């Protein structure tokens, strides 16, 4: 299964292992995170007896941090849903027979695909009003909502490329067979081309989702109350104890790992499964 | 002047086609009567596929006229869908829809394109699958069928649209030698039923047996044509003679 694209997100996961750190596996993050969480406890045990051990402090804060993490997931799922919906339309626009549609879809895709995610996030944050007036109703635009919009832009552009790449990767014989059976172009897309593309789009789409989930921490920079922001606040209210840094950020690392690793595994499994079939 | 069955079903006059600077068809003319089976033979790259793909407007032409039942194909206002309901096509690579079963492949277009009743379309489709001798394979996916079986499903799929003429583009060229026979038999059955067929083929023995008329093309022109007996035994043009001596 090959996609005609230079988009890293669309390359199969497996290929990433064939890079300089040949033996580095994704799950190694697990012991690193655990070491970060547990390590400082061993040191602290001998130092100041009156203060709580880092692990105890972490446990106090864990429910709040977990809530923040769930907010990250809400942002990621919403941005993914929105980005996928608009991106799918944009991707179909890229294969339109109507040249102006094709060219403008291509331009929008390339524009947002080649912009840093953080810049797009800032754009959404500072260019969108905090509320809009719609027929006399004031609809508020909270920060988290703007973060979703901002993150959905690169998702949209990448989904657009995934759709275009998947449609292009089908043999032209499928189009010709459908044409010679007098299907309309819309029927051909809907009944014949897209159903075959779903399988091809799923792995890169899930890779994209993993990347998006990890990118939701960018929202902390613009002040959304997600897990990184909360971690920073927790550390501050504990008086900035340096021995807490590693356990707290290790915990955040662990949360993302527990969530993203199964997705990555599942993606690889899907890829091998479909590679065998097609 | 309206078309009657006494007129040619497909009529090409002075057809010119080029891809960019490459001239592929240089003035091809031929007539196909209803119920005729014609075979087009010729060396690789001589424009055979291009020629038949022009008939159902998969390729457009730059000059000349193609009439299908009196309807001009070389016309910007052509209703391609209406044309393709009349002209079926079977490809070298079968091009079945891999996500649909054999039965679905056959009955999908009648339901979606011709808006036939579902139950009736399914009954017809089952009949066609039986006709191409694939009873029991209705629920198999293309990937589970041999090349010859897939090609017969493709023929059934084309027949389900009740076309007036079917185009076959080297439909046995990608098959194992053992399965070539079963596909040729299916086409022979069609020919005997009176289906109008335009075939591009390299199977000379088959062409000789089923064809009413044989056309030999080279470099985008029809060099020589005639009924099989005269064509194979009495070829006049040196290019035809050379081609036949290589292939027979
Ligand atoms: N879509 C296309 N774009 C550009 N050139 C093409 C295209 N299709 C065919 N050609 C060229 O047109 C010429 C005739 O091709 P065509 O497929 O009609 O030959 P053919 O007689 O069917 O050959 P074969 O026996 O190998 O199938 C070839 O030189 C081919 O490279
Ligand atoms: Mg050919």
Query: Number of C-alpha atoms within 13 angstroms, CB side, residue A35?
Result: 5
pLDDT at A17 over 50: no
Better pLDDT: A169 or A271: A169
ipTM of the complex: 0.93
Average pLDDT, chain B: 93
Relative to the CA of B46, which ligand 1 atom is closest?
A: 21
- The answer to which of A129-143, A161-175, B94-108 has the lowest mean pLDDT is A129-143
- Ligand 1, atom 25: nearest CA belongs to which residue? B44
Residues whose CB is under 5 A from ligand 2 (ion)?
Answer: B 49
The structural domains of chain B, with segments of one domain joined by +, span: 10-247
Relative to the CA of B48, which ligand 1 atom is closest?
A: 21
pLDDT of residue A12: 54
Q: How far is A186 from chain B (nearest CA, A)?
A: 12
Q: How far is A158 from chain B (nearest CA, A)?
A: 26
Better pLDDT: B194 or A14: B194
User: Residue B24 C-alpha to ligand 2 middle, in angstroms?
Assistant: 12
- pLDDT tens by residue, B50-84: 999 999 999 999 999 999 999 999 999 999 999 99
> In the CATH scheme, what is the code of domain B10-247?
3.40.50.300
pLDDT of residue B160: 96
Q: How far is A182 from chain B (nearest CA, A)?
A: 5
Give the strands of the sheet with B87-90, arranged side by side. Answer: B87-90, B165-169, B196-200, B37-41, B213-218, B221-226
pLDDT at A16 over 60: no
Cβ atoms within 10 Å of A74's Cβ, excluding its own: 14
Contact status of A171 with chain B (Cβ, < 8 Å): yes
Spell out the domains of chain A, with CATH numbers in brackets.
57-124+139-274 (1.10.3720.10)
- pLDDT tens by residue, A136-166: 888 888 888 999 999 999 999 999 999 999 9
- pLDDT tens by residue, B29-52: 999 999 999 999 999 999 999 999
pLDDT at A277 over 80: no
pLDDT of residue B136: 94
pLDDT of residue B1: 63
Of A173, A181, A195, the CB nearest to B109: A181
Contact status of B143 with chain A (Cβ, < 8 Å): yes
pLDDT of residue A28: 79
Measured between alpha carbons, how far is residue A60 from residues A5, A65, A124, A248 in Å?
47, 10, 34, 11
pLDDT at B3 over 70: yes
Chain B residues whose CB is inside 8 A of the A192 CB are: 97
Question: Which residue, among A150, A142, A202, A192, has the nearest Cα to A170 in the 3D structure?
Answer: A192
| B100-104 average pLDDT score | 96
């Amino acid at each position: 299964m090959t996609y005609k694209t230079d988009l890293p997100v669309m390359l199969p996961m497996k290929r990433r292992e064939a890079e300089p750190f040949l033996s580095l596996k994704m799950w190694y993050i697990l012991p690193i995170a655990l070491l970060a969480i547990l390590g400082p406890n061993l040191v602290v045990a001998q130092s100041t007896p009156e203060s709580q051990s880092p692990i105890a402090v972490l446990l106090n804060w864990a429910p709040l941090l977990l809530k923040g993490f769930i907010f990250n997931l809400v942002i990621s799922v919403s941005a993914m849903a929105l980005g996928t919906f608009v991106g799918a339309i944009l991707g179909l626009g890229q294969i339109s027979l109507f040249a102006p549609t094709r060219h403008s879809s291509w331009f929008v895709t390339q524009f947002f695909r080649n912009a840093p995610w953080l810049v797009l996030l800032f754009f959404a944050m500072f260019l969108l009003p905090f509320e809009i007036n719609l027929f006399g109703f004031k609809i508020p635009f909270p920060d988290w909502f703007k973060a979703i919009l901002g993150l959905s832009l690169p998702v949209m552009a990448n989904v657009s490329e995934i759709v275009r790449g998947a449609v292009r990767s089908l043999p032209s014989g499928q189009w010709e067979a459908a044409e010679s059976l007098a299907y309309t172009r819309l029927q051909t897309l809907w009944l014949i081309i897209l159903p075959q593309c779903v399988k091809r789009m799923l792995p890169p789409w899930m890779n994209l989702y993993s990347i998006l989930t990890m990118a939701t921490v960018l929202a902390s920079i613009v002040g959304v109350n997600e897990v990184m922001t909360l971690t920073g606040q927790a550390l501050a209210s504990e008086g900035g104890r340096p021995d807490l840094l590693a356990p707290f950020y290790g915990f955040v690392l662990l949360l993302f790992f527990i969530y993203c690793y199964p997705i990555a595994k599942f993606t690889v499994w899907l890829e091998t499964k479909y590679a065998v079939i097609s | 002047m309206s078309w009657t069955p006494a007129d040619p079903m497909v009529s090409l006059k002075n057809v010119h086609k080029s891809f960019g600077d490459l001239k592929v068809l240089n003035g091809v003319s031929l007539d196909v009567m209803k119920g005729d089976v014609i075979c087009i033979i010729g060396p690789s790259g001589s424009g055979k596929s291009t020629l038949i793909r022009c008939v159902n407007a998969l390729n457009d032409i730059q000059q000349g006229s193609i009439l299908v039942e009196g309807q001009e194909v070389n016309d910007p206002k052509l209703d391609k869908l209406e044309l393709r309901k009349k002209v079926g096509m079977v490809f070298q690579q079968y091009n079945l829809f891999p996500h649909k079963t054999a039965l679905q492949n056959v009955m999908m277009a009648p339901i979606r394109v011709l808006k036939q009743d579902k139950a009736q379309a399914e009954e017809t489709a089952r009949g066609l699958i039986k006709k191409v001798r694939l009873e029991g394979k209705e629920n198999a996916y293309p990937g589970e069928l041999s090349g010859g079986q897939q090609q017969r499903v493709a023929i059934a799929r084309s027949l389900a649209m009740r076309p007036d003429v079917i185009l076959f583009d080297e439909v046995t060229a990608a098959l194992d030698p053992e399965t070539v026979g079963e596909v040729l038999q299916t086409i022979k059955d069609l020919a005997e039923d009176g289906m109008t067929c335009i075939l591009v083929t390299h199977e000379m023995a088959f062409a000789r047996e089923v064809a009413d008329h044989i056309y030999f093309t080279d470099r985008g022109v029809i060099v020589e044509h005639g009924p099989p007996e005269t064509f194979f035994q009495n070829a006049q043009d040196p290019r035809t003679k050379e081609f036949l001596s290589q292939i027979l």
